Structure 1
Amino acid sequence: MKNVILIVSLLVSCITVFGQEQRTYFGDVYFVPGKYKSIYNSPEGSPYLNEEFVPAKINNIADTQLVRFDAVLGNVEVMITESKVVTIENSKPYTISLMDGSNKVYKTLKYADLNGNENNSFFELLDSTLIYKLYLKENKRFFKKVKAQGYAEEKPAQFKKVKSEFYVTDFKSQSERLLYIPQKLKPFTEFFQEDSKSIKNFIKDNKLNIGDANDLVKIFKFHFEQ
């Protein structure tokens, strides 16, 4: 009987410690996985890159976590149980390595948006060298329901993927500060200053698209390997 009590006590202790670790890492404000449906009044689609949670390693936490990415709010959610989800604090640095076969790595980082406002969000790491780190920020927006007017049909409330953004660490000053990468050709080539002409020719000769993540990696490699 004493052995049974001891085992139960140890299990309770382990569960308590594990729960405390999760709260320490991820906060303790829980909500249900489908909460967004009531917040946005049952829209079409979802705010997530993938609505299903996927396995991932977060920082140096030994246990595999289940995560998903809210591309509207720029948040990362972690499933604690099937009925409990928590949003991790993007203001803290996290490295999230997916274990779903995609080999994608995400980081939570500070950045200045197009209006110059400082925010926190998650970014997919596209390329990393000693000189720079290149990131992709995927975005979604929520569009409210539009009632039918005249010949125009009603449009339901829905989430839509909008243009992605690319950022790079400030290689000009060797800083971890993120710089927004312009997505129009002229300001994009000027971003590379004295190398703008060769960048423009490289894009043209290789028929590259500066809005494509793989092509962008090629352009940065070309710039730094010349």
Structure 2
Amino acid sequence: MKNLKFSVVVVLLMTAFFSYSQDVNLDMATERGLMSKTTSPKIQAQGSPYIDENFKPVKIPSFDTKVYLGRYNAYNGEMEIKVKQDVVIALDVNSADYEVVFVNDSKTYKSFNYTTERGISKKGFLVVVNSGENANLLKAERIKYYDKVPAMSSYQQDKPAKFRKESDVYYIQMKSGSVVHLPVKKKDLLKAFPKHSKAIKTFLKENKVKLSKEEGLAKVANYIGSL
């Protein structure tokens, strides 16, 4: 009975300490004007949920001029920021809008409200691929988690849980600010914009636009934004 009471006390103390540490981390972020939340629990699997495991120099222009270290968890859709040595928080896009610039990569992420290809409304980070006169081309970087697959027989081996990088999904930000899915297949593209399908088809042909390249997608996105 004494051992049980001791174990309960230890668990309570550890829980209190963990909660205190989380609160301190969030308070430190709040002091810098960053609306934040704790990062999601780590999952043990092959591969990585991050676009790049390494923390890299980033700026968050709308908040201050300080250079932080950051990385993007594409599986959870979380932008992790190291606000101090060993203190990492996730930016809370549901509480504020963010622009995060990866300084050395010339790569910018912004938080957007958008509608997925399945018609689901979301808010999260998208990469700004191109800023056009009539529309912006954005993309969602995706990493999926695949659970462990047990062996079907003693002659086979278990397939371990893993993260896998999936194809990027593209979007258009219109002048109105709305963000909609941009299909990368010609047939699906024309179907997505039925009112302008003939004009878009002509534009693709006359300008020899290749939808397999981001340069081509940027051109058609800007054209669609002008219609």
The TM-score normalised by the length of structure 1 is 0.74
Q: Distance in 2 between matches of 1:116 and 1:140?
A: 20
Q: Distance in 2 between matches of 1:112 and 1:44?
A: 30
Letter in 1 for 2:57: P
Letter in 2 for 1:53: F
Letter in 1 for 2:48: S
Bigger drift between 144-153 and 104-113 goes to: 144-153
Aligned to 2:100: 96
Q: Deviations over 1:182-215 (max 9, x none)?
A: 2332121344556534644664677654243233
How far is 1:152 from its partner?
5.2
**What 5-or-longer segments of structure 1 have no aligned partner?**
1-16
Q: Distance in 2 between matches of 1:75 and 1:177?
A: 22
Residue pair 2:147, 2:162 contacting (<8 A) in 1 also: yes
How far is 1:220 from its partner?
3.2
Q: 1:79 to 1:208 in 2, by over 3 A?
A: same
Letter in 1 for 2:81: V
Matched, 1:126 2:126: no
How far is 1:129 from its partner?
2.8
Q: Distance in 1 between matches of 2:60 and 2:202?
A: 41
Aligned to 2:67: 64
Aligned to 2:148: 145
Aligned to 1:182: 183
Could you tell me the percent identity over the aligned residues? 26
Aligned partner of residue 175 in structure 1, secondary structure: coil
Q: Distance in 2 between matches of 1:190 and 1:115?
A: 14
Q: Distance in 2 between matches of 1:223 and 1:110?
A: 20
Q: Distance in 2 between matches of 1:59 and 1:26?
A: 14
* Aligned-residue CA RMSD (Å): 2.9
**What 5-or-longer segments of structure 2 have no aligned partner?**
1-26
Aligned partner of residue 49 in structure 1, secondary structure: coil
Letter in 2 for 1:216: L
Letter in 2 for 1:117: I
Q: 1:93 to 1:31 in 2, by over 3 A?
A: closer
Letter in 1 for 2:55: F
Moved over 6 A (4+): none
In structure 2, which of residues 42, 49, 52 is the aligned counterpart of residue 50 of structure 1? 52
The TM-score normalised by the length of structure 2 is 0.74
